[in-house]
Structure 1
Amino acid sequence: MAPGSRYPIPAQTHRVEEEIKRSRFITTLGYTPTVEAARDFIAQVSAEFADASHNCWAYVVGPPGSTAQVGMSDAGEPHGTAGRPMLTVLLHSGVGDVTAVVTRYFGGTLLGKGGLVKAYSGGVQLALASLPTVEKVPTVTLQVVLDYAAVTPVKRLLPAYEAEILDEGYAAQVTYRLKVPEEQASPLVQALTELTHGQAEVDVLG
């Protein structure tokens, strides 16, 4: 995915529950834009279900399918039966910045390795199927300094680039702080330069 691409992220924390051979599986999905946020979310859910047999987890930080920042744990289940299958489902989900915790209350019937893989990956699939998502739009902040004569044409130009004025200052010249989607930043800078015949000063603040 190109930098600045938009992608779906969880709109809120979302939970589903199912029973498989008397074991209760509770899957909780959350929006986690950083590895710290993912770890905090895992700790929070694990604390909520501190009495559970297992709290297995997996996370993907970054755009859907990106493996730069991922993590997983079987949390005491047989190796490879929980964390890895959960991570595989997340990586193919088309959703980014997401953490899944599957909590298991053991019901007395062993599921076997295949059964566990199916239960843990199935829990994540089930939760994803009904997960509300929103679009994440990476943005940058621009500072623009221009002459008063350019104010009206510049204000007319901004909506086409989805630019939002965060604040404005009026002195000898006009200063705007703009929030703009990352992918629109350089086209907007170009448009401002053309519109003001190179008079506008534009700085990227981050």
Structure 2
Amino acid sequence: MCRDYPVPAGFLERETEVKKSRFIARVAPVSSREEVRTWLEQARKDHPDARHICWAYQIGRPGAAAEAGMNDDGEPSGTAGKPILSVIQHKDMGDVLVLVVRYFGGIKLGAGGLVRAYASATEAVLSAVERVTQKPLSRVTVTMTFADEQPIRHWCEQHDAGVDQVDYGPQVVADIVVPLDRVRELSEFCDARGIGYSLES
């Protein structure tokens, strides 16, 4: 049974200092790799002189994430991305990206010191960020006439669903992202209007 799970309510930044090195941790909600790239590009614009911008993310429900990734960005292997991801997983949070910007302070921290510093920076920002509940979502592809498009859009507005992509051909084909617990209502709506639909497995 899919369950609701906590996600970050929004963007937050926290800074910590370890032996004169500055660690600026940023957390943001993400639902795709494209969003991860966008946040990373923004961090590089904001901190062009930073020695490292390390990160990790987890998309989907904690414990069964659809996708996860991490990057040490030049730090010794396993000393940055992995501890960031470990803290994310420990916090039981999904759809989350943590970036840690490091300005080197002139004192080497060693592998163990780096692991602790990146984990601590991640802990600081994840402990401070507000959480909201994300309901599991499903993707439904509907095939309909032009006349059905507006009623479908109206249904989505009323049921916390969204039209993700629409292709106009002889018929209108739309991808709808809908809360998992509303899929049955959508299928009943489609059946009543003679709209074809298929659920993403």
- The answer, yes or no, to whether TM exceeds 0.5 is yes
The answer on whether the counterparts of 2:25 and 2:101 sit within 8 Å (CA) in structure 1 is yes
- The secondary structure found in structure 2 opposite 1:44 is helix
CA–CA distance in 2 between the matches of 1:11 and 1:202? Answer: 38
Counting aligned pairs with the same residue, the percent is 38
The aligned residue for residue 47 of structure 1 is 45
Aligned residues between the structures: 170
Does the alignment pair 1:100 with 2:113?
no
TM-superposed CA distance for 1:91, in Å, is 1.9
**Partner-residue secondary structure (3-state), 1:24:** strand
1:32 maps to which residue? 30
TM-aligned CA distance change 1:165 to 1:79, over 3 Å: closer
Matches within 5 A, 1:123-134: 123-134=121-132
Instruction: Give the aligned residue type for 1:126.
Output: A
Q: Distance in 1 between the 2:52 and 2:178 partners? A: 43
Between the aligned partners of 2:159 and 2:71, the Cα distance in structure 1 is 41
Matched residue SS, 1:94: coil
Deviation at 1:111, TM superposition (A): 0.9
Q: How does 1:84-163 map to 2 (within 5 A)?
A: 84-137=82-135, 138=137, 163=159
Residues 183 and 82 of structure 1, relative CA distance in 2, 3 Å threshold? same
Note the C-alpha offset of 1:131. 0.8
Deviations 1:36-63 (A, max 9, x none): 1112111211221110111111111112
Counterpart of 2:54 in 1: which secondary structure?
strand
Q: Which residue of 1 aligns with 2:4?
A: 6
The answer to whether the Cα contact below 8 Å between 1:59 and 1:71 also exists between their aligned partners in 2 is yes
Q: Is the 8 A contact 1:64 1:92 kept in 2?
A: no
Q: Structure 1 CA distance, aligned partners of 2:132 and 2:194?
A: 30
The answer as to whether partners of 2:160 and 2:179 remain within 8 angstroms in 1 is no
Larger mean Cα displacement after TM superposition, 60-69 or 87-96: 60-69
Question: Deviation per CA, 1:44-98, whole angstroms, max 9, x where unpaired?
Answer: 1122111011111111111223344111111111111001111111122211111
Q: Given that residues 57 and 86 in structure 1 are in contact (C-alpha distance below 8 angstroms), is that contact kept between their aligned partners in structure 2?
A: yes
Q: Secondary structure at the match of 2:92?
A: coil
| One-letter code aligned to 1:109 | I
RMSD across aligned positions (CA): 3.1
1:10 maps to a residue whose letter is P
Q: Determine if contact 1:65/1:92 at 8 Å carries over to the other structure.
A: no
TM-score relative to the length of structure 2: 0.71
Q: Is the contact made by 1:60 and 1:66 (CA closer than 8 Å) also made in structure 2?
A: no
Amino acid at match of 1:88: S
Bigger shift: 71-80 or 130-139?
130-139
Letter in 2 for 1:11: A
Return the alpha-carbon distance in structure 1 between the equivalents of residues 30 and 160 of structure 2. 25
Greater Rg, structure 1 or structure 2? 1
CA contact (8 A) 1:32 1:41 kept: no
Secondary structure of 1:101 counterpart: strand
Given that 1:27 and 1:124 are in contact with CA atoms closer than 8 Å, whether structure 2 keeps it comes out as: yes
